């Protein structure tokens, strides 16, 4: 997963505010969360833009939050489903097994033996205020889930 320091090293570090942020570090944070565009920095050199793009470029097939589920690695264990704070809040009894709920407000569900993103708009990484939660990633024994 990218972090602001990886991006900050390529920024001009002038804190000019012309990008709309108070500091270059704040701009780096916004780039990671895809709340800002690289083009907003008027002093960024082309070679530095390319470096940043490789860091913040979402993976092919990523959800709006950046969530990537690798079907070929997922065993459908349901660890991510039962650990997701939003799932637990929306359906505290149904998520207990990781497989039993039919609640449409669940972010992650096991279907046909693998995990699927269902109601991704309610993920803590997507709603305001954004929380960079990664419980589903941490608890996946097969590393089938990631936020690049």
For residue 44, what is the domain's CATH number?
1.10.15.40
Q: Which of these, 85, 114, 89, lies nearest to 103 by C-alpha position?
A: 89
Any domain includes 62: no
pTM of the model: 0.56
Lowest mean pLDDT among 9-13, 56-60, 97-101: 97-101
CATH, residue 126? 3.30.70
Tens digit of each residue's pLDDT (9 = 90 or more) over 6-29:
899 999 999 999 999 999 999 998
Helix axes 46-56, 24-32, angle to 10 degrees: 40
Instruction: Tell me if 97 is assigned to some domain.
Output: yes
What average pLDDT does the structure give for the chain? 84
List pLDDT tens digits, range 26-44. Answer: 999 888 777 889 999 999 9
Shared domain for 110 and 74, answered yes or no, is: yes
Residues forming a β-bridge with 109: 116
How far is Cα 78 from Cα 71, in angstroms, rounded to an integer?
13
Domain annotation covers residue 74: yes
The answer to whether residue 25 sits within a structural domain is: yes
Which residues span the domain enclosing 136? 68-146
Residue (of 93, 91, 100, 79) closest to 122 by Cα position: 91
């Amino acid at each position: 997963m990218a972090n602001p320091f990886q991006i900050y090293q390529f920024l001009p570090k002038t804190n000019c505010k012309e990008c709309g942020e108070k500091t270059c570090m704040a701009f780096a944070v916004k780039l990671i969360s895809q709340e800002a565009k690289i083009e907003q920095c008027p002093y960024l050199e082309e070679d530095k833009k390319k470096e940043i793009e490789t860091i913040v470029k979402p993976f092919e097939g990523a959800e709006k939050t950046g969530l990537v589920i690798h079907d070929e690695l997922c065993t459908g264990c349901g660890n991510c489903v039962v650990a997701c704070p939003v799932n637990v809040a929306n359906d505290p009894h149904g998520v207990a097994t990781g497989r039993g709920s039919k609640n449409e407000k669940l972010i992650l569900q096991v279907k046909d033996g693998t995990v699927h993103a269902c109601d991704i708009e309610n993920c803590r990484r997507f709603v305001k205020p954004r929380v960079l939660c990664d419980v589903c990633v941490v608890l996946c024994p097969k590393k089938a889930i990631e936020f690049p």
